[in-house]
A = this chain, B = another copy of it.
Amino acid sequence: MRERIEAANAQAVGRITSADPVLIDIAPAGEVIPGLVGRMILHSGPPVGWSRMCGAQRGACIGMVLFEGWAKNPAEAEQLLASGAITLEPNHHHQAVGPMAGTITRSLPVFVVKDTASGSRACCRQVEGRQQFGDYSDEALDGLRRWRDVWAPSLRQGIQQKGGVTLRPIIAKALQMGDELHNRPVAATTLFADVMALAMVEAGVSKNNLLATLAHLTYNEFFFLGLSMASAKAFCDAAAGIAYSTVVTAMARNGTEFGIRVSGLGDEWYTAPAPRIDGLYLTGYSADDAGLDMGDSAITETVGWGGFVLGGAPGILSLIGGTSEQAMQISRDMGEITVATHPTYRIPALGFVGAPVGIDIVKVMRSGIVPVIDTAIAHKDPGYPKIGAGMVRAPSECFEKALQAYARRYGLS
């Protein structure tokens, strides 16, 4: 039995470490996300209805209803959402992920990343600091419209010109430049910008659109998070559904619940109440304003980035707090609950050891060490932009429930 589990886990983690992500398109979600039809909003985390949805995610949904023109004002949008006329489903049920509230609707262009090793494909929406945090103001929605009308189409031209953008070299290099690819995708963004500048010039993108898009890439350090998330989701889907594997294939939060999925346990979610984040706040906000942990972005930790390689990304500590010694210790701790280190994604500050990959629910329960996620903080109420960032520990209850289900499924005592 033990050998069976180890073999299954080796297979699961092998899918993650051998993955070769390529950005193949940026296209309206309705054209590329399976099952995203009509008046549907995809959201982050495990399933949650409107009545239990947290403030920030509600605000983001209101924003998407307005963005799609399904309602004329926030009150009408809220009414529509409360009436059940808008279908709400998790991104994770549609081969997709989204940062923070994670909201995706049919008109919103999304990144399409294909793992050419497994053939697995996943989508993620763009990253910004307002609407995805629950801000549905006209200024917040303007960012979505600029993305839809200018930035996304210009980048798409570049991607088509190149025939796809291979992301592995960018990811590997960025991890050696102090990125952890979750809350610090700074190097990856600038490396991606270099590649896309060439591609967009080559493709003949108009001067105005080129300038606007290059400026967006240059002054939006979080840009690449959408690509690390889409990549990670593609890897995890490739690693999912392997009988006997105890490797985690999703960690996702909706601000109400934190949920995980496990390779050997199919599509089932194992949930616990979303935890509170320990972090630093932007001027004018405090812990009293904070919503609970939210977003699909913990998919980056699921493949060994984010909190798992914090020791290699001390620059992030000015954003989330803590010392570089603590960051190193967290990375070492994450090594205790994973089944492998990545052969290519190596961290100089950790002696060029590979990123710890493949969270094992058995190791988590045995060691008492839970995954550490570095994350942004949204307001508890609808209508606010980003208010801070910090660190959060995954609830052990999720792993406990998963292990119980595993025991039932595979007949362990």
Give me the interface of A with B, judged by CB distance under 8 Å: 173, 176-179, 186-187, 190-191, 193-195, 197-198, 201-202, 204, 207, 210-211, 214-215, 217-218, 314-318, 323-324, 348-352
A324 neighbours in B (Cβ, 8 Å):
348-351
Q: Would you give the shortest CB distance from A187 to chain B, in whole angstroms?
A: 5
A187 contacts across to B, CB distance below 8 A: 177-178, 187, 190
Complex Cα gap A204–B194 (Å)? 18
Cα distance, A197 to B194, chains bound together (Å): 8
Number of copies: 2
Q: A190-B193, A201-B207, A201-B210 are in contact. List 6 more A-B contacts (CB 8 A).
A: A177-B187, A197-B197, A201-B211, A201-B214, A314-B349, A349-B349
A179 surroundings in chain B (CB, below 8 A): 177
- A178 to chain B: which residues have CB within 8 Å? 176-178, 187, 348
* A191 contacts across to B, CB distance below 8 A: 190
Nearest B residue to A205 by beta-carbon distance?
A: B201
**Smallest distance from the beta carbon of A320 to chain B beta carbons, Å?**
12
Contact A315 B201 (CB under 8 A): no
Q: Which residue of B lies closest to A324 (CB)?
A: B349
* Chain A to chain B contacts (Cβ below 8 Å), 23 pairs: A177-B177, A177-B178, A177-B179, A177-B187, A178-B187, A190-B191, A190-B194, A193-B194, A194-B197, A194-B214, A194-B218, A195-B218, A197-B218, A198-B214, A201-B201, A201-B207, A201-B214, A202-B211, A204-B207, A318-B348, A318-B352, A324-B348, A349-B349
